[in-house]
């Protein structure tokens, strides 16, 4: 057993707990409240990825978690540093992504007295995390981080928060010196009382710290559905003539199990729609995977398995599934399993493990289901032909459908697609085919714009050798253009496609049609490629369909040489996604 040691300062305790859990990266924007954590983490071999906006740090930690299966870690300073992360925290909560946010705070003795960046952080953060801890003793820093890293991954994964006041992070001699200086040297009764109070306060801060600290990473058990539920679900699928599966992000929260999940899906022989982080689970062209006409398929299926997918707006709140069908809901969350539509069979536990358990009990039934599989395959082929017809249309600038058809041909076999935008990204989702498991990242159910740069940084922390494409709407790009500086500094050779149609097109399309006004939806044909060059990246401009393949090929070659590249793509307006408004 390791011998307890007495770290020189509290930041080293935080870093020790992170290192013991296998943390490889901390995403951050620097601040005096958290400097000891960053310095100590770097000294332990943890890579510090510093960004230009705290939200980006949290988004990067989110993506790191999704791709690794470990808890992603972001550290931000107090006050505005923390408040800047709230949207990213909420996005991680909605996406059920395990993220640890470490936040600095004002000195414990000065909280509530007007100290720099001092606010009540707990009420702001609490609604957006599954667990939080306000540490008040140096000795409790390490155990709090240990617990947070585990809680983030337990049960339904999600973000957690640990608040570390600045006077817990620096060395004891410095902190006692600060408090001595704050008390002054006067001899009045009030002066002596203040010195006594601050001395006693410092004693409480450092109580137990001399005993040393041995970090111990806490194991996390995967929740399992009951065996009786697995048997009932297996029997229902065995009886079905038109079964269907919809697999979502929660089924691949254990990232290392994705290949086993893909094998189980193949053994089941049930046609499947993949969404969120599950996109790419079966590769590019697996015969069981369906991509189009999901609503029609759900309405015709006689048995539907939702694996890690709630009946929210994406499934018309359960309305897409006919009432006579047997509905099986596999989900870590009992609430999500029953959201808006009560299932016939609720399998509460890890959805990926549940599919594996089903495959172990069922013989492949694909031969008996060939007519059903054929019907779905024919519909997909018809829709692909329609997309080809859309791609053939030519206008003044670049047809986005043709652009993504070309990208589908050019992207490498190990490509990862990061999606951040509205209309441009939604078009891409119909056309691009992720090459393998965990090769598509989008915000998730919260529909957040601004995730792009952070998700790229998170991807680079796990898959530094993979070719990475950021599909960026021109509106969404405004949230993170300054992070091109971050990508250059950290040598992240991403290829960025900005879909420049000079507008918030997903909103404008329906707003103009329904209300007759484009107010608030118009942008400019900004020279995004020149912005990229200003930050030290490569910048290319693409204005014509005839140049698409040549420019994308050049961009991929430039990125392969080690630099981020931004391609400013002047898009034509299309009606490809007419009537796409969601509520």
* CATH fold of the domain at 392-570: Rossmann fold (3.40.50)
Share of residues in the chain with pLDDT > 90 (%):
80
CA-wise closest residue to 256 among 320, 352, 183: 352
Buried b (16+ CB within 10 A) or exposed e, 318-357: bebbeeebbbbbbbbbeebbbbebebebbbbbbbbbbbbb
Res 62 pLDDT > 50: yes
Between 42-56, 170-184, 414-428, 507-521, the lowest mean confidence (pLDDT) is in 170-184
* CATH fold of the domain at 10-211: Rossmann fold (3.40.50)
Q: What is the pLDDT of residue 1?
A: 40
Token pair listed for 88: 């990213």
d(CA 523, CA 501): 8
d(CA 416, CA 53): 23
Bridge-partner residues for 329, per DSSP? 306, 346
Res 452 pLDDT > 50: yes
Q: What is the pLDDT of residue 353?
A: 96
256, 353 contact by CB (below 8 A) = no
Dump pLDDT digits (tens) for 330-343: 999 999 999 999 99
Dump pLDDT digits (tens) for 381-390: 999 999 999 9
Instruction: Report, in angstroms and rounded to the nearest whole number, the Rg of the chain calculated over CA atoms.
Output: 26
The phi and psi torsions of 103 (rounded to 5 degrees) equal -120, 135
| Biggest CA-to-CA distance, the chain | 93
Q: Which residue shows structure tokens 């118009």?
A: 522
What is the residue-averaged pLDDT of the chain? 92
Between 5-14, 151-160, 248-257, 343-352, the lowest mean confidence (pLDDT) is in 5-14
What distance lies between CA 261 and its chain's CA centroid?
A: 20
Residue range 104-116: average pLDDT? 76
Q: What is the pLDDT of residue 552?
A: 98
d(CA 274, CA 281): 8
- What are the structural domain ranges in the chain? 10-211, 227-377, 392-570
Q: Which residue shows structure tokens 């029953």?
A: 338
Dump pLDDT digits (tens) for 10-31: 999 999 999 999 999 999 999 9
| Coil/strand/helix, residue 28 | strand
d(CA 450, CA 42): 27
Q: What is the pLDDT of residue 45?
A: 97
CA-wise closest residue to 168 among 191, 145, 193, 192: 145
Res 374 pLDDT > 50: yes
DSSP collapsed to 3 states, 427-488: HHHHHCCCCCCCCEECCCCCCCCCCHHHHHHHHHHHCCCCCEEEEEEHHHHCCCCCHHHHHH
The phi and psi torsions of 49 (rounded to 5 degrees) equal -110, 105
Token pair listed for 242: 């038109």
Q: What is the pLDDT of residue 562?
A: 95
Better pLDDT: 110 or 221: 221
- Percentages (nearest 5) of helix, strand, coil residues in the chain: 45, 15, 35
CA-wise closest residue to 535 among 563, 557, 508: 563
With a CB cutoff of 8 Å and minimum separation 6, the contacts of 516 are none
Q: Which residue shows structure tokens 């079966």?
A: 282
Dump pLDDT digits (tens) for 234-278: 999 999 999 999 999 999 999 999 999 999 999 999 999 999 999
CA-wise closest residue to 147 among 166, 164, 160: 160
Can you say whether the dihedral through the CA atoms of 495, 499, 500, 506 is positive or negative? negative
| Coil/strand/helix, residue 294 | helix
Q: How confident is the model at residue 211 (pLDDT cuts 50, 70, 90)?
A: confident
Dump pLDDT digits (tens) for 528-578: 999 999 999 999 999 999 999 999 999 999 999 999 999 999 999 877 766
pTM of the model: 0.94
Res 517 pLDDT > 90: yes
Q: How confident is the model at residue 579 (pLDDT cuts 50, 70, 90)?
A: low
Q: Which CATH number fits domain 227-377: 3.40.50.1220, 3.40.50.720, 3.40.50.2300, 3.30.470.10?
A: 3.40.50.1220
End-to-end CA distance of the chain: 56
Q: How confident is the model at residue 194 (pLDDT cuts 50, 70, 90)?
A: confident
Q: Which residue shows structure tokens 């640990």?
A: 162
Res 73 pLDDT > 60: yes
Residue range 21-49: average pLDDT? 96
Residue range 270-297: average pLDDT? 94
Residue 208 to residues 202, 322, 342, 515, Cα–Cα distance (Å): 12, 61, 51, 65
Token pair listed for 178: 């600060």
Token pair listed for 511: 């707003």
Task: Please give the DSSP secondary-structure letter assigned to residue 99.
Answer: E
Evaluate whether 227-377 and 392-570 have a shared fold: yes
Q: How confident is the model at residue 367 (pLDDT cuts 50, 70, 90)?
A: very low
d(CA 119, CA 105): 8
Token pair listed for 561: 């040489």
What distance lies between CA 518 and its chain's CA centroid?
A: 32
- The DSSP result for 537-551, as a single string, is SEEEEE--GGGHHHH
CA-wise closest residue to 571 among 546, 545, 549: 545
């Amino acid at each position: 057993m390791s011998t307890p040691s007495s770290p020189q300062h509290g930041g080293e305790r935080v870093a020790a707990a992170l290192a013991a859990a296998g943390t490889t990266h901390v995403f951050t924007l620097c601040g005096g409240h958290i400097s000891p954590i960053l310095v100590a983490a770097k000294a332990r071999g943890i890579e510090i990825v510093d960004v230009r906006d705290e939200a980006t740090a949290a988004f990067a930690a989110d993506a790191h978690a999704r791709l690794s299966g470990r808890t992603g870690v972001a550290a931000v300073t107090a006050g505005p540093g923390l408040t800047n992360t709230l949207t990213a925290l909420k996005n991680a909560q909605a996406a059920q992504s395990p993220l640890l946010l470490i936040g600095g705070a004002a000195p414990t003795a000065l909280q509530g007295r007007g100290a720099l960046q001092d606010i009540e952080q707990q009420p702001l953060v609490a609604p957006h995390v599954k667990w939080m801890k306000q540490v008040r003793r140096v000795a409790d820093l390490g155990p709090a981080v240990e617990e947070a890293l585990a809680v983030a991954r337990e049960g339904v994964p999600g973000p957690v928060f640990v608040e570390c006041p600045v006077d817990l992070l620096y060395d004891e001699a410095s902190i006692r010196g600060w408090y001595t200086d704050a008390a002054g040297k006067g001899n009045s009764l009030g002066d002596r009382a203040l010195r006594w109070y601050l001395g006693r306060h410092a004693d409480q801060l450092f109580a137990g710290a001399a005993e040393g600290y041995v970090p111990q990473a806490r194991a996390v058990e995967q929740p399992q559905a009951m065996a009786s539920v697995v048997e009932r679900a297996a029997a229902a699928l065995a009886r079905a003539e038109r079964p269907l599966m919809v697999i979502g992000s929660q089924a691949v929260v254990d990232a290392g199990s994705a290949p086993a999940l893909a094998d189980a899906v193949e053994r089941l022989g049930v046609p499947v729609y993949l969404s969120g982080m599950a996109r790419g689970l079966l590769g590019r062209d697996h015969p069981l995977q369906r991509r189009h006409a999901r609503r029609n398929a759900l309405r015709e299926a006689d048995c539907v398995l939702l694996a890690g997918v709630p009946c929210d707006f994406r499934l018309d709140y359960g309305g897409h599934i006919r009432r006579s069908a047997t509905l099986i809901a596999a989900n870590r969350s009992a609430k999500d399993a029953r959201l808006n539509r009560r299932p016939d069979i609720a399998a509460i536990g890890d959805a990926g493990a549940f599919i594996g358990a089903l495959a172990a009990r069922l013989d492949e039934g694909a031969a008996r289901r060939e007519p059903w599989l054929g019907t779905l395959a024919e519909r997909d082929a018809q829709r692909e032909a329609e997309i080809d017809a859309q791609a053939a249309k030519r206008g003044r600038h670049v047809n986005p459908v043709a652009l993504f058809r070309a990208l589908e041909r050019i992207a490498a076999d190990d490509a990862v697609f990061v999606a951040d935008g509205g209309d441009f990204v939604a078009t891409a989702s119909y056309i691009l085919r992720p090459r393998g498991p965990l090769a598509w990242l989008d915000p998730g159910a919260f529909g957040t714009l601004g995730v792009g740069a952070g998700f790229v940084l998170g991807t680079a922390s796990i898959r530094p050798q993979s070719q990475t494409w950021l599909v960026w709407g021109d509106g969404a790009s405004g949230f993170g253009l300054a992070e091109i500086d971050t990508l250059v500094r950290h040598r992240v050779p991403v290829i960025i496609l900005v879909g420049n149609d000079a507008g918030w097109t997903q909103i404008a399309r329906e707003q103009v049609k329904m209300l007759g006004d484009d107010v608030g939806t118009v942008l400019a044909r900004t020279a995004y490629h020149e912005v990229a060059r200003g930050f030290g990246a490569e910048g290319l401009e693409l204005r014509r369909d005839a140049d698409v393949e040549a420019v994308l090929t050049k961009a991929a070659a430039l990125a392969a040489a080690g630099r981020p590249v931004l391609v400013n793509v002047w898009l034509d307006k299309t009606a490809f996604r007419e009537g796409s408004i969601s509520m």
